C-alpha cells in the first residue's frame, strides 16, 4: 500500500523525485521540531512556575495549552524595528544565521534504526561543525545592531562558545573512542544491550562535562551572560523586535532540543530500550530521554543564579578541559587492559 503510493508518486515526479522526496523528509523532521520548540516554551514556563510555587500560564486554552500559539501570533504582528545606524543587511541576516545551523544539524540525527535523513560517516564531526557556526549569528547580530549593549553581549557569547566548544569536543572524543565510529547510528548501536551498556556509565565525567558545556553552548541560564538582563539589558538581541526576535528565540529552543537529543543519542542509547528483553526499542524512548534532558536544563535555570563572566571562563578552561583530557587518557589506557569490555 505504502510502497504502491510511493511508486505512483515517483512516476509522477520523474527525475525530480529525489528532490521532492528529500524535501518531504526534511519537512517531516522540521515540522514536529517546530511544534516541539513551541511547546518547550510552555513546558519551561510551567515547570519553572511549579518549581517557584506558581501556576504558570493558564489563561489561553485549556491548561494554557494555546499559549505558545498566542505568543507566536503576537510576535508575528509586531513591527520589526531597524535601528537607523544599523547595518540593515547583516542585521536581518543574523537571526537566519542563528536559526539555520540549529535546523541543519538535524540531518544526521538517527530517530530509529535506519531512520535518518543523511546517514553520513562523519556525522559527529558534522554536528560539531554545524553547532559551531551558530555563533556567527550572535556575533553579527551584536555588531550590526550598532549598540554597545548588543556588542558586549556578542563578544561575551563568542568567547564563551569558543571556550566551551573545546570541552564539548573532547567529551565527544571519548564517545567516538568507545563507539569506534563517527556515525551517530553506529554510536547508538554500540550501546545496544540494556541501559548498563550505555556510554554514560563508563564515560560519566565526560557525560557531565558534555551536558554542562551544552547548556553553556546554547547560552542558557546559568551561562546566559550573553543576554545578561541585569547587566546588558538583553545582550546581542536587545535591538530586535517582532519576528526577528522570535527567530532568535526559536533558535535558542531548537538548539536546546538539539543538544538534549545529542546527549540522549551519544550517552543514553538513543532509541534503544533500557531493558531490551522486556520492552522493545522505539522512537518513543528517544523522545522520553530528550524530555528528561530538557527537564534537567530547565531545572538548572530555575535553580542557579547566573555565573559571573570570569567564573564561566575558569570553569571551561581550568576545570572541564583538564577533566576531559584526563578521562580520555583513562579510557585509552583501560582499552589496552582486560577491562576493555567495560568501554565498548
Partner 1 sequence: MAMIFQDVVFYVLAAILVFAGLRVITARNPVHAALFLVLAFFTAAGIWLLLEAEFLAIALVMVYVGAVMVLFLFVVMMLDINLEQLRKNFWDAIIPALIVGGLIFAEMVMILVSKKFGGLVPATHDANYSNTAALGNLLYTDYVLPFEIAAVVLLVAIVAAIALTLRRRANAKRIDPADQIHVKRADRIRMVNMPVEKDAPVEGEKT
Interacting residues with partner 1 (CB under 8 A) = 15, 90, 120-122, 125-126, 128-129, 132-133, 135-136, 139-140, 143, 151, 154-155, 158-159, 161-162, 165, 182, 311, 314
Query: 10 Å Cβ neighbour count for 26?
Result: 14
- What is the spatial distance between Cα 181 and Cα 131, in angstroms, rounded to a whole number? 20
Q: Looking at beta carbons only, is 155 or 330 nearer to partner 1?
A: 155
Do 217 and 128 contact (CB within 8 A), yes or no? no
Closest approach of partner 1 to the CB of residue 315, in Å: 9
- Runs of H (alpha helix) within 121-203: 123-144, 148-179, 184-189
Q: What is the DSSP string of 312-330?
A: HHHIIIIIIHHHHHHHHHH
Q: Are 18 and 10 in contact (CB under 8 A)?
A: no
CB of 112 to partner 1, least distance (A): 20
- Most distant CA pair in the chain: distance in Å? 67
Instruction: Give the nearest distance from C-beta 183 to partner 1 in angstroms.
Output: 8
Q: Which is nearer to partner 1, 121 or 229 (CB)?
A: 121
In the complex with partner 1, the residue whose CB is nearer, 133 or 323, is 133
Closest approach of partner 1 to the CB of residue 162, in Å: 6
- Give whichever of 197 and 314 is closer to partner 1, judged by the CB atom: 314
C-alpha 300/C-alpha 321 separation (Å) is 21
**Alpha-carbon distance 169 to 56, whole Å?**
37
Q: How far is the CB of 259 from partner 1 (least distance, A)?
A: 16
- CB of 44 vs partner 1, minimal distance in Å: 28
Of 221, 237, 233, nearest to 97 by C-alpha is: 237
Q: Which is nearer to partner 1, 212 or 290 (CB)?
A: 212
In angstroms, the CA 169 to CA 15 distance is: 40
Going from the C-alpha of 225 to that of each of 92, 218, 232, 248, 321, the distances in angstroms are 23, 11, 9, 16, 20
| Shortest Å, Cβ 133 to partner 1 | 6
Q: Which residue number, 155 or 323, has a Cβ lying nearer to partner 1?
A: 155
End-to-end CA gap in the chain: 41
Nearest CB to partner 1, comparing residues 19 and 76: 19
User: Of how many residues is the chain composed?
Assistant: 344
Contacts of 253 (CB under 8 A, 6+ apart): 37, 40, 41
Cβ proximity to partner 1, 42 vs 138, nearer residue: 138
Closest separation in Å from C-beta 321 to partner 1: 13
Amino acid at each position: 500500500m505504502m510502497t504502491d503510493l510511493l511508486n505512483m508518486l515517483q512516476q509522477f515526479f520523474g527525475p525530480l523525485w529525489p528532490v521532492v522526496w528529500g524535501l518531504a523528509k526534511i519537512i517531516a523532521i522540521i515540522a514536529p521540531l517546530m511544534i516541539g520548540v513551541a511547546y518547550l516554551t510552555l513546558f519551561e514556563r510551567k515547570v519553572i512556575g511549579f518549581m517557584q510555587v506558581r501556576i504558570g500560564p493558564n489563561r489561553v486554552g485549556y491548561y494554557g495549552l494555546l499559549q505558545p500559539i498566542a505568543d507566536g501570533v503576537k510576535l508575528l504582528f509586531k513591527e520589526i524595528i531597524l535601528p537607523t545606524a544599523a547595518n540593515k543587511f547583516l542585521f536581518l541576516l543574523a537571526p537566519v544565521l542563528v536559526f539555520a545551523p540549529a535546523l541543519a544539524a538535524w540531518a544526521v540525527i538517527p530517530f530509529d534504526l535506519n531512520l535518518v535523513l543523511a546517514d553520513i560517516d562523519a556525522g559527529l564531526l558534522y554536528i560539531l561543525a554545524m553547532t559551531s557556526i551558530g555563533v556567527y549569528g550572535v556575533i553579527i547580530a551584536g555588531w550590526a545592531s550598532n549598540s554597545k549593549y548588543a556588542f558586549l553581549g556578542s563578544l561575551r557569547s563568542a568567547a564563551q562558545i569558543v571556550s566551551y566548544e573545546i570541552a564539548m569536543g573532547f567529551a565527544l572524543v571519548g564517545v567516538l573512542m568507545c563507539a569506534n565510529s563517527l556515525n551517530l547510528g553506529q554510536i547508538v548501536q554500540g550501546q545496544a544491550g540494556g541501559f548498563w551498556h550505555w556510554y554514560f556509565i563508563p564515560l560519566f565525567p565526560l557525560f557531565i562535562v558534555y551536558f554542562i558545556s551544552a547548556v553553556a553552548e546554547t547560552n542558557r541560564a546559568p551561562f546566559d551572560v550573553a543576554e545578561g538582563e541585569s547587566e546588558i539589558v538583553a545582550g546581542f538581541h536587545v535591538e530586535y523586535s517582532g519576528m526577528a526576535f522570535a527567530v532568535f528565540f526559536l533558535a535558542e529552543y531548537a538548539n536546546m532540543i538539539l543538544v538534549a537529543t545529542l546527549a540522549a543519542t551519544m550517552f543514553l542509547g538513543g532509541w534503544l530500550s533500557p531493558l531490551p528483553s522486556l520492552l522493545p526499542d522505539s522512537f518513543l524512548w528517544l523522545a522520553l530521554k530528550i524530555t528528561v534532558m530538557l527537564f534537567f536544563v530547565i531545572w538548572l535555570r530555575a535553580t542557579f543564579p547566573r555565573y559571573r563572566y570570569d567564573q564561566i571562563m575558569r570553569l571551561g578552561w581550568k576545570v572541564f578541559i583538564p577533566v576531559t583530557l584526563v578521562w580520555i587518557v583513562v579510557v585509552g589506557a583501560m582499552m589496552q587492559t582486560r577491562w576493555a569490555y567495560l568501554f565498548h
